Amino acid sequence: MAVSAAKEEAGRVEPGATDEPSLRQWLRDLDMPGATRAAAFDTRGDARVALTGSAARGIARRLRRQGLDVVDSQSFLVADSEGPLEDGELDRARAWGEQLAS
Q: Per-residue pLDDT tens for 7-31?
A: 555 556 778 777 888 888 988 888 8
In a domain, 83, yes or no: yes
pLDDT at position 73: 96
For the residues of 16-48, what is the DSSP string, one character each?
TTTSS--HHHHHHH----TT-EEEEEEEEESS-
In a domain, 1, yes or no: no
In a domain, 65, yes or no: yes
Distance CA 78, CA 64 (A): 26
Distance CA 60, CA 23 (A): 12
**Full domain range(s) for residue 48:** 28-101
In a domain, 18, yes or no: no
In a domain, 73, yes or no: yes
In a domain, 82, yes or no: yes
| pLDDT at residue 2 is higher than 60 | no
Per-residue pLDDT tens for 34-92?
Answer: 789 999 999 998 888 878 889 999 999 999 998 999 999 999 999 987 789 999 999 99
pLDDT at position 33: 80
Number of structural domains (the chain) is 1
| Rg of the Cα atoms in the chain | 16
